[in-house]
Amino acid sequence: MKRFENKVAIVTGASRGIGRGILLAFAREGAHVVSVDIGDQTETGEMAAALGARFNAYTEDFGKLNQAAAAALVQRILADTGRIDALVNNAGIIRRAPIVDHPEEDWNALLQINLSAPFFLTQAVAKWWLTTGRDLSEPNDRLKVVNIASMLSFQGGIFVPGYTAAKSGIAGITKAFANELAKERMNFNAVAPGYIATENTRPIREDESRNASILARIPEGRWGEPADIAEAILFLASNAADYMNGTIMNVDGGWLAR
């Protein structure tokens, strides 16, 4: 039996990159996969279908997602899928500018999309779980929430103060949710990716000097792949990680250890 047979897994930002890799990993393991994104999710759905997975897509602008909209989205998903077993808060943006010139609109957008939206969505799913979602007669019935943190949940970075603030906040709310709700058969953990080879990072990898400096800092000596992140997510979303709560797991090839 596949690890997530008869389970429903939501992945935000799954139209491409790391999010798509996570969603397809759940699909390969038998999950009914749910994509929430502002972008075109057609290709992701076709790839999930090719793996034999059930797939639902919802278009949502996280730049406008508030508490009420998150609650309504969760109810739409539940109406179509019947339940939620895992939520992966992956959607996010990054904006770069020197700290003294960092635009107010970028700061606000980064905090809204990267921090407020995941908080509201997690809050809505947790509320459903507490009221009608959990089956207390089934000892293995648990809700798994996995957030995408960052190396900048631990470091200050350069030219990315809004992103750093949001990702530091993600680490904080991961722990806060765990502190209050772990006793309710809910697990809240996060994965902090290192440098991952995606379309977003292609310009950096094609810059010979910058690519070389990054690789020199990574003990593993290579860029990560979306699959490296996906496997960590699957572990945290599985019953193998039932006793993990409030953990920020680094998947960075050793970058932070250097």
Measured CA to CA, the distance from residue 171 to residue 249 in angstroms comes to: 10
The yes-or-no answer on residue 58 being catalytic is: no
Residues 57, 37 contacting (CB under 8 angstroms): yes
Looking up tokens 């193998």, which residue turns up? 240
DSSP one-letter code for 225: -
Helix (H, G, I), strand (E, B) or coil at 105: helix
Angle in degrees, 0-180, between the axes of helices 104-111 and 161-181, rounded to the nearest 10: 20
Tally the C-alpha atoms within 13 A of residue 177's C-alpha that lie toward its C-beta: 32
Residues 84, 11 contacting (CB under 8 angstroms): no
Determine the residue type at 1: M
Residues 97, 75 contacting (CB under 8 angstroms): no
Q: Is 50 exposed, middle or buried (0-12, 13-18, 19+ CB in 10 A)?
A: exposed
Please provide residue 90's backbone torsions phi and psi, each rounded to the nearest 5 degrees: -105, -30
Determine the residue type at 24: L
User: Any idea which residues carry the catalytic annotation?
Assistant: 163
